[in-house]
Structure 1
């Protein structure tokens, strides 16, 4: 098997399972919040804390990646995700919030570790497409969660559903072990201080400074942050939105999320192919930001019309608003100096996940204040349209 195929298979498996496990949490939002005696929109707090865990790992986890190598770091991430899900399987409280933090910390290594593996192995001519296929694991895992999690919970109950998801996550650690010797052999010298670095402000500052290594990195980072705000709100609230606004059942809400994620999976691969053909990923992302803002606005404007319109809007949002990540990460890795690929992708993703923290929080406040999911979606879409238009104006100059 060619090295790049091994790299793609390993990273795609981990990305898919990690996405499956993390997407299960907002899909189980209504019963989780009901068990805690909280309103349904409080799932936004769990999503925000999960994003905070991602930010923590991206900000200070570089030495951990350098010490263990990318595959071992991915395995550590899966173990953290399983531990976080176990904490959430207990009655929601402080333990549950710590579990959300652990899930975020476990999801985070997928971006820098995967980029480090693929930039070293992917053929340059098809690099964006290969990165996009890997990133298609995010919506693939989300679609699987949308199809499986709600029926599983209805049949077996909430604790059993979470237990099965934990078992799948732990099994993946063993599956990925077969790739470790081949893909981790160039991990370099160990960094015994990696655990202390998780609480080091200096490590965070060094990671952020890496974004000055290329002129296009600040604009790429800003676009990624804007997309992340939209994506995090869609992931956190779509299921709750269709239950509260359209009266859908939990199973139907899961199916709508599955359609959105399935469309996103196809969209990521298609967008990667288009970006490779056009040769200008940054301009491509700016146009996609404007189009995705229109798609989110259309989803929010959909009333109680025929059900197919809701499914159609979910698919359109999946292709445009969630189908961006592969192109973005591939372009970050392309313009970054080879020795800074993991640092640049971590730092840019950090700013993105800062948006993922504040996006659901602001969305929750807007819904609580106005009682309108439509207004909250409109605000989210407007900020993305502004970023896309500013980027296009900058590129034209």
Structure 2
């Protein structure tokens, strides 16, 4: 098959399974927290630790990616997720919290490794669409989790359900092995310091420094962080919100999450196609931020009127507030110098996952203080709308967009910096 097809198939499979496994944790939040004797909103702590593990991977895992190659790195990430889920299958305590960290570390490899594979293989004319299809694996995995896990936990119990998820993750490691020889051809065997870099503060500084490579990257990064706060809260609390505020059963909550995830999957592909046709992806993202904020407000205002309204609002939120990531990843890869694509996407995603940590923690505090999930969701939506409006204002002052293919002139002028940052 063509190289870009191999690249898309491999990254989509891993993205879907990683999403399925990681989203099993918040979806099963109520029974997990009940077994630990904690209130339902405590799932926010587990989600925050998962995001912390992702941040750790994005900040310090660059040399690991360069040493092993992207496909092998994705396989290592899947193995970390399996170990983390095994820890979470035990009664929640310190071991379970460390398991959440391991799940996050394993998940974090998807963004830089997938971007490195696709930016070299995707035809430029369809790049945003291909990135968006790969990112559609996130809601596809979430939708499968919503459909499968709730009935399974009711029929077989929590421990068996987590065991099934672990088995699927381990099987995926073997499934993508045939792609490794073709897609890992440029791995750098001469980078022995990757293990030390996992605990190195200097690695964090190198990662963040790559965001100076293009003038659009700070704005893209800030907007992505704002989107991430909202998305993390939706992922962590939608099932609990439906169960505690609208008396939904675990199965009904799973179906609501499924509707949200399926709409997100459609949204990522449609919005990626539109971005390729219309251009100006950054302006497109800014307007989508405002629309996403309005959708979240609708979820907590009219979503509770009846079951159909709740499903419809969840789908609208999925299409807008969770459908942004493919366009964002493709635009980061497009403006980044080719030698720095994995580093730039890691650094920008790092700030995004800082938002993923802060969002659920702030949300948990707001619910504990006010007793209102609606207020917490609306405040998260307000900050996203604010970032969207600021982005529109900044873009309005630019007389000429800075469009550039990632393989063009800046790639050559930044080659010296790229080799330093990657070394």
Instruction: State the TM-score bracket (shorter-chain normalisation).
Output: over 0.9
Matches within 5 A, 1:200-349: 200-302=200-302, 304-349=304-349
Shift of 1:191: 1.0
Shift of 1:190: 2.9
Matches within 5 A, 1:57-68: 57-68=57-68
1:354 corresponding residue in structure 2: 354
Does residue 44 (structure 1) correspond to residue 71 (structure 2)? The answer is no
Shift of 1:304: 3.7
Shift of 1:303: 5.4
Change (3 A) 1:35 1:200: same
Distance in 1 separating the partners of 2:176 and 2:304: 45
Q: Unaligned stretches of 5+ in structure 1?
A: none
Q: Is the 8 A contact 2:264 2:318 kept in 1?
A: yes
1:21 corresponding residue in structure 2: 21
C-alpha distance after superposition, 1:279-302 (max 9, x if no partner): 110000000000000000110113
Distance in 2 separating the partners of 1:201 and 1:360: 25
Distance in 2 separating the partners of 1:178 and 1:367: 47
Distance in 2 separating the partners of 1:304 and 1:71: 44
Q: Is the 8 A contact 1:66 1:190 kept in 2?
A: no
Distance in 2 separating the partners of 1:256 and 1:357: 23
1:149 corresponding residue in structure 2: 149
Change (3 A) 1:121 1:373: same
Q: Is the 8 A contact 1:129 1:269 kept in 2?
A: yes
Q: Is the 8 A contact 1:263 1:319 kept in 2?
A: yes
Please state whether the residue corresponding to 1:149 is helix, strand or coil. helix
Please state whether the residue corresponding to 1:214 is helix, strand or coil. coil
Q: Is the 8 A contact 2:303 2:309 kept in 1?
A: no
Shift of 1:187: 1.7
1:127 corresponding residue in structure 2: 127
Q: Is the 8 A contact 2:290 2:384 kept in 1?
A: yes
Distance in 1 separating the partners of 2:254 and 2:268: 21
Q: Is the 8 A contact 1:59 1:350 kept in 2?
A: yes
Q: Is the 8 A contact 2:52 2:357 kept in 1?
A: yes
Distance in 1 separating the partners of 2:271 and 2:347: 23
Q: Is the 8 A contact 1:211 1:218 kept in 2?
A: yes
Q: Is the 8 A contact 2:131 2:327 kept in 1?
A: yes
Q: Unaligned stretches of 5+ in structure 2?
A: 398-423
Structure 1 length normalisation: TM-score? Answer: 0.99
C-alpha distance after superposition, 1:214-243 (max 9, x if no partner): 000000000000000000000000000000
Distance in 1 separating the partners of 2:191 and 2:54: 21
Number of equivalences = 397
Please state whether the residue corresponding to 1:215 is helix, strand or coil. coil
2:161 corresponding residue in structure 1: 161
Q: Is the 8 A contact 1:297 1:378 kept in 2?
A: yes
1:32 corresponding residue in structure 2: 32
Q: Is the 8 A contact 1:68 1:190 kept in 2?
A: no
2:81 corresponding residue in structure 1: 81
Q: Is the 8 A contact 2:71 2:184 kept in 1?
A: yes
Does residue 55 (structure 1) correspond to residue 55 (structure 2)? The answer is yes
Q: Is the 8 A contact 2:295 2:313 kept in 1?
A: yes
RMSD: 0.6
- Return 301-310 or 158-167, whichever deviates more: 301-310
Distance in 2 separating the partners of 1:385 and 1:23: 26
1:7 corresponding residue in structure 2: 7
Distance in 1 separating the partners of 2:301 and 2:368: 19
Q: Is the 8 A contact 2:68 2:188 kept in 1?
A: no
1:393 corresponding residue in structure 2: 393
C-alpha distance after superposition, 1:3-30 (max 9, x if no partner): 0000000000000000000000001100
Distance in 1 separating the partners of 2:244 and 2:317: 19
1:181 corresponding residue in structure 2: 181
